[in-house]
Homo-oligomer: A and B are copies of this chain.
Amino acid sequence: MSILTRPILEINLGNLKKNYLLLKGLAPKSEAAAVVKDDAYGLGAETVAKVLYDEADCRCFFVAHGIEGEKVRAVAPNAKIYVLQGIGEDSLQSFQKAKLIPVIAGPEQLKFWKEHKIDGIKPAIQIETGLNRLGFREKDLFEMSPDDRDLFSLVLSHLACADEKDHFMNEHQLQNFLRLKERFFSRLPASLSASDGTFLGADYQFDIVRLGAAMYGINTAPYRENQMLPVVKVLAPVLEIAELQKGDFVGYSATYRAADNRKIAIVSIGYGDGVPRSLSNIGKVFFLNGGKTCEARIIGRLSMDNIICDVTEVPNLKVGDLGHIVNEFYTLDDIGRDAGTIAYEVLSRLGKNPRFKRIYSK
C-alpha cells in the first residue's frame, strides 16, 4: 500500500503536438498559430510554446498580455508573438524587450501606439464583426486616415458562435469581415478563426488560424465526436475509506444524507486545486480497479482540499489508490457540462495550482 497525499496533473505534450498538427492539417493553406494565453490555459506557456516551436515548427503565437509574451519569447526566438489585449503603459516594456506585436483594437490604443512605436514592429488591427468585444467599429474605420491604415500588418476578428456549425452569426460575421477587409485592408493578410472556426472550413480560415482550446484536447466542434487527443489527466489519492450509516450527513451544510449504509472515500483534491465546487453532489470520480472502470459519485459539497465520493460499488479499493478526476472517459468537456460551465474554464483553473505534482510526458 502506498500512502500518498498530493494530487497529480499529467500533461501529455506528445498529444498536444499531435493535436496541433491535426488542426494544422485542417487548414493547409493557413499559417497555424498557437494560442498560449492564460499560461497556455494553465498548462505552462513556456513548456507548451517550446515543444511547438522546437518540434512542430510553429512560428506564430498569440498571448493575451505583454508579460505572457515575454515568457514565450524566451523559448521562441524567431516567432511572431501577437498580444491580444493590446499595449499600454503597464506593458510597454514587455513589448520593447521581447519584440511583441500588439493587436490594436480601438482609436485610443492606436493613438498610444503612434506615440510609442517600436522599431521593426507593425501591429495587427482587430475589427469588430459581431461579437461586440474588442475591435474597431465600422465608424472608427471610416474615420481612420489612409496613413494610419498603412501601419498594420494583419487584420483580425473573432467569431462569437463558431462552436455551433449552423448558427446564423457565423455567416453574418464572415460577410462583415470580408466586407470590411475589402473596404479598408484589402492587401493585408487576415485571421478570423480560433479552433472552433477552423472546423467551419476553408471559407473561415484565411491566412492565419489561431489554435487554442482544441490543441489542449477540448472539443470545440461539439456537434460531432471529439477528434482531439486528450492532453490532460488529473489524479488524486484516496486518503481514507469509511462507512456511512443510514441517515448520516456528509460535508458542509449537510447537503447529502445517506439513504442506507454506504462506503465513502475521501480524495485529496478540492476546489482549491481548481475542481469546480459546482460539481458538488453532481460530479464523479473514477477508479480503475482490476481492469474495470468504476464510477464513484461525488456526494456532499466539495471542500477546498477534499472530495468525498460514494465508493460502495468500487471493489478492492485501498487507501492510497488514485482516483481519476479528469481522464479520457470523464473529460474536461464532461466536467464543464456537469459543472454548469465550459471546458475552457475548467482547464484554465486546474493548471494554475501549485499543489499539483506536475508530470509532463511526450
Contacts and interface: CB of A to CB of B under 8 A. Distances in A.
Interface of A: 1-6, 37-39, 41, 64-68, 84-91, 105-106, 108-109, 112, 128, 130-135, 137, 160-161, 163-164, 167, 169, 237, 239-240, 242-244, 248-254, 264, 266, 268, 271-272, 274, 277-278, 300, 303-306, 308, 319-320, 340-342, 344-345, 348-349, 352-355, 357
A250 B132 contact: yes
B109 A239 contact: yes
Contacts of A354: 39, 67, 352
A66 B5 contact: yes
B132 A169 contact: no
Contacts of A274: 349
A291 B303 CA distance: 40
Given A3-B109, A5-B65, A133-B251, 16 more contacts: A5-B87, A6-B65, A6-B91, A37-B305, A39-B354, A41-B272, A64-B304, A85-B268, A86-B239, A105-B240, A106-B239, A108-B319, A133-B266, A134-B266, A161-B254, A278-B278
Given A132-B251, A132-B264, A85 B5 contact: yes
Contacts of A266: 133-134
B106 A249 contact: no
Contact of A169 (B90, B249, B300, B308): B249
Given A3-B108, A169-B249, A345-B271, A306 B133 contact: yes
A69 to B, nearest CB: 11
19 contacts: A4-B90, A38-B355, A64-B355, A67-B354, A85-B239, A85-B305, A85-B306, A90-B357, A130-B249, A131-B250, A131-B252, A132-B244, A132-B250, A134-B306, A135-B240, A277-B342, A277-B345, A304-B344, A352-B354
A5 B91 contact: yes
Contact of A303 (B133, B240, B243, B305): B133
A277 B248 CA distance: 34
A306 B264 CA distance: 40
B342 A68 contact: no
A266 B108 CA distance: 13
A347 to B, nearest CB: 10
A190 B13 CA distance: 48
Contacts of A250: 131-133
B128 A160 contact: no
B137 A3 contact: no
B108 A271 contact: no
Given A272-B37, A357-B90, A249 B112 contact: no
Contacts of A37: 272, 304-305
B169 A254 contact: yes
A239 B134 contact: yes
For the complex of A and B, the 7 pairs showing the least CB-CB separation, nearest first, are A38-B272, A3-B88, A108-B319, A5-B88, A106-B240, A3-B112, A64-B305
Contacts of A320: 88, 108
A172 to B, nearest CB: 9
B133 A304 contact: no
A345 B161 CA distance: 29
A355 B5 contact: no
Given A37-B305, A108-B3, A348-B304, A134 B254 contact: no
Given A90-B6, A130-B249, A132-B242, A341 B277 contact: yes
